A and B are shown apart, each in its own frame.
Chain A
Amino acid sequence: MAAQKQDLLAGSVKDAAVGALVAFGLFAMLIGMKTDVSIGGLSIEYRWSAVAIAVAVVFVGRLALNLFVWKSEKPVTAMLGGLVPSQSSASRFGHLITPVLFVLAVVLPFLLMYFLGSRGSRQYLDLAILVTTYVMLGWGLNIVVGLAGLLDLGYVAFYAVGAYSYALLAQYFGFSFWLCLPLAGILAAFWGIILGFPVLRLRGDYLAIVTLAFGEIIRVVLLNWYEFTGGPNGLSGIPRPSFFGLEFERGEGGFADFFGLEFNSIHRIIFLYYLILVMALLTNFVTMRLRKLPVGRAWEALREDEIACRSLGINTTNTKLTAFALGAMFGGFAGSFFATRQGFISPESFTFIESAVILAIVVLGGLGSQVGVVIAAVVMIGGFEFFRQFEEYRMLVFGLLMVVIMVWKPRGLISTRAPSIALDRKKAKGISADLVQEGHG
């Protein structure tokens, strides 16, 4: 017994020492030396104490993990296992939380106004609008990635197309938001088809890379086509949406005047919140309906096995295109909302990181799960904003969170798939994610 302990200790120390050595090799350069601007050119600043701390952390951390988790007979993590919700309870949780979230979303502005007043709630309403926009984007992308299993890394391109469509149509033709909204969606869908046509014969990694490139191309074009898009200066003075023709303005004929309210700039914010909420819910509604229609089933079948689909007479190219176009369309809607809310857009807002964040929301939430997307968007975007003061550590925490979730629940938070049709609705159960394919492009 004692000898065994001795062995364990010696082995662990050895392993930790090796880890520390590797860490030293890495950190000596990465942390230990820092170039600095000084008189007469660059100079190197040495920071050996920081390296020592990093190496020590690795050594101690690895030793502790060895002793208590990896080599121990009773790993500490086993106790944590009980905290992980089981498959069935997770799906029940999903069922319960949907109506709660819905009601909360509907009454949120009133709650905020009641408790915080119009001054205090403005900040939170802005955040809620942002989160809801991402929920909508996540739902849009979920059609492409979650249902059809096509990995799209350039989704932000369609968001940009939507935003610029509205801004440009408004600028050149003076179209109103309500006219531009469908146009922006159609244009984004059109670009989805243009991109999809050559690209969708690619699979998996290749598809991911090309869509990534497409996202960048759109951004670079917007950046460089100065005469048309304003280049890096962006477009400003984008008109605000009206409420059935009522502008949110002070004075006669405005929204507040018409309803006999006292003018308050918060009205417009609340209106924007409900606008994006309705748009997002519409996205969800359409997606849920499509899942139960032949197209939606074909998308999911495509994700499961493309060859089998073709043997059943399904035109896979068209099916993929519809998924792509539809996802793009919702991205376009969200984009024109973004433009009208900001009143100003520039290519800055449509960088790759946006695509990554939207994809992360979909993946963390659980591919194909609508509620999962909501939870992931609230946690991620809300978290981002709340920890704004810790700017520097945000990405670190974000990365850690991703790793933790992927280890803990590799298929995302809500990972059961509900059958789209059943003979016996009551007996039909959710399908465990282990059986569901992720798609190969």
Chain B
Amino acid sequence: MSRWNDDPVLRIEHVTMRFGGLVAVNDLSFNVGRGDITALIGPNGAGKTTVFNCATGFYKPTEGRITMKRRTGEHYLLERMPDFKISAEAGVARTFQNIRLFGGMTLLENLMVAQHNPLMVASNYTIGGLLGLGGFRKAEAGAVDRAKYWLERTNLIDRADAPAADLPYGDQRRLEIARAMCTMPELLCLDEPAAGLNPRESAELNTLLHYIRDEHDTSVLLIEHDMSVVMEISDHVVVLDYGEKISDGTPDEVKNDPKVIAAYLGVADDEVDQVEEEVGL
């Protein structure tokens, strides 16, 4: 057996998501291994984002079970938890396909908001903070340090006091990752983190993700379209098509799976023109 079945952080079991008559995800089961970078791939509309939304509480799956197992050994049934608790208690953080930053707030503020829950406790739910008690000031300084750390990691420290909406696209993507990491997650879910990045930024992203996995003991689940990225960095690949899993294995296994080739990878660059001609494009 493969290691993602031995010690999974996240288990997705028989998850189905229906929107009215449309079955976006159909009886999907797969595991995300602890310490792995797992890639969820598939053509447009395959249901990848829907899986993310189910796992992070933004949708309630019609059927199925999603279990998060933390390092401490605690289990969390994510499909039963409200979205904010999934981040706060189960240690799952996410980014969004269409970036969602707090645009009118500075980068530093964005990362401070991500540390809301521990800071809230440190400020005695505002009372202590309002009175200016020392405990809160220490906690705040710690939070600023963590924010600085991630800003340095993502090469954004020079713009710490600039509004997030002013950042170029690639920087916004990295800021969103930094913000998710500030919640100190055990599982980081990234929805198309490399979309719209240039090759250099893409390479930087790979380094960052490896760093996150190795140095912060955080498992990564990512959705990706760019095959080169997927094959290079992931330890485990799950392929979706029309809401169903069609392949699941190491990058090499998936690459050579005939079903995947047929559904997704099948058309090599030089064959694209030919295929397009056949369908009349």
Residues of A within 8 A of B (CB): 286, 289-290, 293-295, 297-298, 300-301, 304-305, 307-316, 322, 417, 419-424, 427-429, 431-432, 435-437
Instruction: Output the nearest chain B residue to A295 by Cβ-Cβ distance.
Output: B126
Report the contact-size class of chain B (Cβ under 8 Å from the partner): 35 or more
Please name 6 pairs of A and B residues whose Cβ atoms are closer than 8 Å in the assembled complex, sorted by A.
Answer: A308-B100, A313-B88, A313-B117, A322-B126, A431-B163, A435-B166
Asked if A312 contacts B112 (CB within 8 A), the reply is no
Measured CB to CB, the closest approach of chain A to B86, in angstroms, equals 8
B130 proximal to A (CB < 8 A):
yes
**Distance, CA A431 to CA B104, complexed state (A):** 7
Instruction: Give A435 to B106 CA distance when docked, in angstroms.
Output: 11
On whether A419 and B113 interact (CB within 8 A), knowing A424-B161, A427-B161, the answer reads: no
Say whether, besides A301-B105, A304-B103, A313-B84, A290 and B116 are in contact (CB < 8 Å): no
Contact of A312 among B160, B163, B179 (CB under 8 A): B179
Q: Which residues of B contact A322 (CB under 8 A)?
A: 126
When chains A and B are docked, how far (Å) is the Cα of A315 from the Cα of B121?
13
What separation, in Å, do the CA atoms of A121 and B35 have in the docked complex?
75
The reply to whether A313 and B161 contact each other, CB–CB distance below 8 Å, is no
Looking at B83, B100, B102, B120, which has the most chain A CB atoms within 10 Å of its CB?
A: B102
- Contact of B264 with A by CB under 8 A: no
Over the window 118-157 of chain B, the binary record of Cβ atoms lying under 8 Å from chain A Cβ atoms (1 yes, 0 no) is 0110010010011000001000000010001000000000
Q: Give B134 Cβ to nearest chain A Cβ, in Å.
A: 15
Known: A294-B120, A422-B108, A423-B108. A308 touches B102 (CB 8 A): yes
- The verdict on B59 contacting chain A, using a C-beta distance below 8 Å, is no
Establish whether residues A293 and B58, one from each chain, have CB atoms under 8 Å apart when the complex forms: no
* Bound-complex Cα distance A300 to B89 (A): 23
Which single residue of chain B is at the shortest CB-CB distance from A432?
Answer: B163
Chain B residue with Cβ nearest A314: B116
CB neighbours of B130 from chain A (8 A): 286, 289-290, 293
Chain B, residue nearest A422 (CB): B161
Chain B residue nearest to A304 in the complex (CB) = B102
A-side contacts of B58, CB under 8 Å: 307, 310-311
Q: Does B93 contact A (CB under 8 A)?
A: yes
- Across the interface, do A305 and B93 meet the contact criterion of CB distance under 8 Å? no
Chain B contacts of A437 at CB under 8 A?
A: 103-104
* Residues in B neighbouring A309, C-beta threshold 8 A: 84, 113
Out of A293, A305, A436, name the residue touching B123 (CB < 8 Å).
A293
Partner of B165, one of A286, A314, A316, A435: A435
List B contacts of A312 (CB < 8 A).
84, 87, 93, 113-114, 116, 179-180, 183
Asked if residues B84 and A310 are in contact (CB atoms below 8 Å), the reply is yes
Contact B113 A301 (CB under 8 A): yes
B160 contacts across to A, CB distance below 8 A: 422-424
Flag B163-190 by CB within 8 Å of A: 1 or 0 each: 1011000000000000110010000000
Contacts of B87 in A (CB 8 A): 310-313
Cross-interface CB contact of A422 among B101, B106, B116, cutoff 8 Å = B106
Q: Considering the chains assembled together, what is the distance between the CA atoms of A288 and B123 in angstroms?
A: 16
State the CA gap A428–B101 with chains docked (Å).
19
Q: Give, as a whole number of angstroms, the nearest-CB distance from B60 to chain A.
A: 14
6 A-B pairs with least C-beta separation: A436-B104, A313-B88, A313-B87, A304-B102, A308-B100, A294-B119
